[in-house]
Amino acid sequence: MLDLDSSEPSRVQSPRPETPEPGSRQGRRNAEADVQLLDHEGSISDKFERCLQHIFAKYCTPQPANAAGPTITTPTGVQPAVLLRPPPGAYLTPAALDRWAVDTNGAPFSAEAKDELKEFLDVNEGGDLTFNGFLQIYQLQTENDEEETWRDLSSHGFDRSLTLVATRREDMDMDSEEGTRLMSGERLGNPLRPMVHGTSA
């Protein structure tokens, strides 16, 4: 019991001391200052690419060899605890593309958006999105709306230091305004829209 009449200062310890609240940019979980998604030349940074390899590999065909190892729970569910790498020639089938879009934004891509992907991004002979095409999506999105990319990374379990972390229940408070927007699909967007229509996000 907390003694409010005591002359000694009392401290109430958090079960997770020095852990920032969700959305915070400081603290131990975000120890690396100035983690950049794009390098000084405007290309995807090596660390960001490693995160994208992991996300792509969760959905790609063929699946990576280490996909059946230890797991952790992230906002998109249970996933491998080690970073995955897509095998050479891997791609996202239309069904996998929809699973990725739902896990990232709450809804699959429209038929129009899928047609734009095939027309403007790197796809294989069967019209399936390749890893290079996946990188192109995030290059465009990050150039136009870096915070949207950070939200996508968070959806897949990455913090602001680009480290894969386990989910905490309080990080997924669906009663919050952000949680309500996510569940209603309000956050959905098309990262190709600026490229296709020449407007900025």
Q: What is the pLDDT of residues 39-59, one digit of tens each?
A: 999 999 999 999 999 999 999
In tens, the pLDDT along 107-164 reads 999 999 999 999 999 999 999 999 999 999 999 999 999 999 999 999 999 999 999 8
Rounded to whole angstroms, how far apart are CA atoms 87 and 108?
Answer: 24
Strand partners, 80: 71
Quick check: 179 pLDDT over 60?
no
pLDDT value of position 34: 67
pLDDT of residue 97: 96
pLDDT in tens, 64-96: 987 766 676 777 677 767 889 999 999 999 999
pLDDT computed for residue 66 by the predictor: 74
**184 has a pLDDT exceeding 60:** no
Higher pLDDT, 194 or 42: 42
pTM for the full model? Answer: 0.65
Are 66 and 82 in contact by the 8 Å Cβ rule? The answer is yes
